[in-house]
Amino acid sequence: MFLSLLSAVHLGCIHAGWLCSSDCEASELLKRFQRGMAMVMRMMSGSSYSARPFARLCAVVDARAQFSTAAVSSVTTTTVSKSVTLPVGHGNVVAHASGRMTDTTGANGDPTFLESVDIYFDKAAAIAATTPDILAQIKACNNILKVQFPLKCANGTVELIEAYRAQHSHHRLPVKGGIRMAPNVDADETMALAALMTFKCAVVDVPFGGAKGGIKIDPTKYSANEKEAIIRRYTSELVRKNFIGPSIDVPAPDYGTGPQEMAWIKDTFEHLQPNDINGSACVTGKPLEEGGIDGRQEATGLGVYFCLREFLNDEALVAKLGLTTGIKGKTFIVQGFGNVGRHTIDSIYGAGGKIIAIAEVDGGLVAECEDGIDIPGLKAYYKKKGTITGYPGAKTVKFAQGILELPCDVLIPAALETQIHSGNAGNIKAKIVAEAANGPVTPLAETMLEDNDVVILPDLLLNAGGVTVSYFEWLKNLNHIHFGRMSRRMEERGKTALIDALENQFGNGHRFSDEVRSQVVKGNTEVDFVWSGLEETMLLSWENVKRTSQGRNCNYRTAAYLIAIERIATCYRVSGIFP
């Protein structure tokens, strides 16, 4: 019992962050200890925890402790420093580094989102072929910018707006990451999302560092003019601090933002930096009319589909779950009907998958027939009503969270982080959890799911379709020409000549039908290039993650982190560290 208590205290202290910092003030140490002990008491009392996940997480934490203490002793200048100056070319901004700026415990006693990312990183770092000093640099968030500015509202009042931009890693430039608008935005969340962007880009071999931004508002409570004013002022603050630019930091859409907000960012940047000939590359996810790329809207959802398709087509992998190969006939539950969820659903439905339930923030739908929900009908209803609730082709449920616990083959959380936690993981009945969202599963939930033989396909891979196509858009903007413009007609002439030659070879008046001729001759459009490049990226990345998982005897998430860590470490070894 004493040893169990000692292990629990050890976990509580690690969870509180003792081994991640060496210069805490006494009051901060006391506060963290109290928080860690609160977690210990919950664990010892048995609430929400089972013995096996707790024991397995202790093993992860022990590995984390070994890495963290080694890192602190090896490179105290990296881990102890509380501030860091941006690299040369990034101005004179001094911003907070890896020290946490808020102190909130996650739901159900789980680690917070930022702590979850740290735990996942440390689990992979413990078995990575990388030295502790480089690991500490890879893990640290280089810069976090907080800005506050006034907004003159439509009713004449003035409101203080709070916003953030985190640049996690400058091992590759520019850094890349979305901007979200949500009332729960804070520094910790922004740093966690920026870290995920670093690792996500590395997993799919996109040459960017990671970044993320957030504006702490509920966008539904502001008029279009007010949102435009907020976005333009936020962009101007980023320009002033040298936190945006085609070669510095390139934002993109995220939760609560879309093509319109990106167009405002582009326009503001180009007005403030009129001499930058590549100004349109300062942001991606723009409307087509403003230099966007065809296929960006569906990119993240399509990336999720490509990875799911490859996993489900692997006979050896699905046989372990008692499933047959292929998407057709499988049952799917999706949380979220936004950009990611909707396009994921489209692709799965088109491949013959059955969407048996959808959860949204204002309610959910459960299919009432064996074939699942009619997605074309639902999309038409959603376009008209702006909500999925009340759709007559399925049963509407008021509290959508319980939908995640319904039986299905594949559960796809495509909304916000920490949606599957220690409080509901034990009730998940899916065979596969496919993380279309960022960080939807907490570490405690992961151990509980794996103890129930649930396979988790990680966000670092599945969610990377968006940044992959953002990379293509960035390249398009730098080249100042859309994909296919120089080659499409040449391809069509060559294919036409081939068809003519085949018809002459066959003789006897043989001629291909107009339909066949049209299909064969058609040259590649921009969206053809985009989808082909995305599919190639996702398939190669999945094979790499699968091979690493099998070779290193770890789950897919740890394999993805290992790939990211070792690629970033290689970058540091080859390029060196300035100065």
Residues with catalytic function? 212
Residue 257 contacts residue 284 (beta carbons within 8 Å): no
Instruction: Give residue 117's region: left, alpha or beta (phi > 0; psi -120 to 50).
Output: alpha
What letters, b where the CB count within 10 A reaches 16 and e where it falls short, cover 546-564?
Answer: bebbeeeebbbbbbbbbbb
Measured CA to CA, the distance from residue 523 to residue 489 in angstroms comes to 7
d(CA 143, CA 211): 9
Contact 411, 333 (CB under 8 A): yes
Which CA distances in Å does 87 have to 45, 91, 196, 565? Answer: 48, 8, 21, 21
Phi, psi of 138 (to 5 degrees): -65, -40
Residue written as token pair 């995920």? 196
Contact at 8 Å (CB) between 350 and 379?
no
Which candidate, 561, 533, 540, places its Cα nearest to that of 549? 561
- Of the chain, the end-to-end C-alpha distance in Å amounts to 52
Q: What is the distance between the alpha carbons of residues 67 and 30, in angstroms, rounded to a whole number?
A: 23
Q: What is the enclosing helix (H) or strand (E) of 492?
A: helix 488-506
Q: Are 342 and 380 in contact (CB under 8 A)?
A: no
Q: Which class for 362: exposed (0-12), middle (13-18), buried (19 or more C-beta within 10 A)?
A: exposed
**Burial tier of 344 (Cβ tally within 10 Å: 0-12, 13-18, 19+):** buried
**For tokens 């280089």, what's the residue?**
142
Distances (CA, A) of 260 to 78, 267, 462, 477: 39, 11, 25, 17
Beta bridge partners of 83: 96
Residue 125: count other Cβ atoms within 10 Å of its Cβ. 27
Helix/strand/coil for 565: helix
Q: How far apart are CA 350 and CA 368, in angstroms?
A: 20
Residue from 138, 21, 91, 102 nearest 238 by CA: 91
Residue 333: left (phi > 0), alpha (psi -120 to 50), or beta? beta
Q: Give the number of other Cβ atoms within 10 Å of residue 545's Cβ.
A: 25
Tokens matching residue 399: 């509290």
- b/e 284-307 (16+ beta carbons within 10 angstroms → b): bbbeeebbbbbbbbbbbbbbbbbb
As a whole number of Å, the CA-based R_g of the chain is: 25
Place of tokens 């998407």: 327
